[in-house]
Amino acid sequence: QVQLVESGGGLVQPGGSLGLSCAASGSIFSINVMGWYRQAPGKQRDLVAQITINGNTNYAASVKGRFTISRDNAKNTVHLQMNSLKPEDTAVYYCNTRHSGGRVYWGQGTQVTVSS
């Protein structure tokens, strides 16, 4: 019903930056919350950042001050700007959306690797 397509992952050195984008398409209706989760090998999937339709944001403590989440409601996109990246940020990053009516969708994931 709704498809999420992520882009922007890749390999970066510690201290570098990457920007992730996610575009939603399909029977979208209203996206109440858009967010990013990440999962490292052998670990659970955890919330990185999320943003509501009104622009309220929430960040994991480990990324606060380094990452910035934003969204364009008209274009149904969400962006995660990641600065001062650390090796601990290495993970597969997943876009997530929560829609009016209780629908939840996930992207396929994009790899972010922080290594020297």
| pLDDT tens digit sequence for 1-51 | 899 999 999 999 999 999 999 999 998 889 999 999 999 999 999 999 999
Q: What is the sign of the dihedral through the CA atoms of 20, 26, 30 and 32?
A: negative
| CB contact set of 97 (below 8 Å; sequence gap of 6+) | 2, 4, 24, 31, 33, 34, 35, 78, 104, 105
Rounded CA separation 84/76 (Å): 27
Residue 54 has pLDDT above 90, yes or no: yes
Residue 112 has pLDDT above 90, yes or no: yes
Alpha-carbon distances, residue 94 vs 3, 6, 114, 116 (angstroms): 12, 8, 16, 23
Residue 101 has pLDDT above 90, yes or no: no
Tens-digit pLDDT profile for residues 57-100: 999 999 999 999 999 999 999 999 999 999 999 999 999 999 99
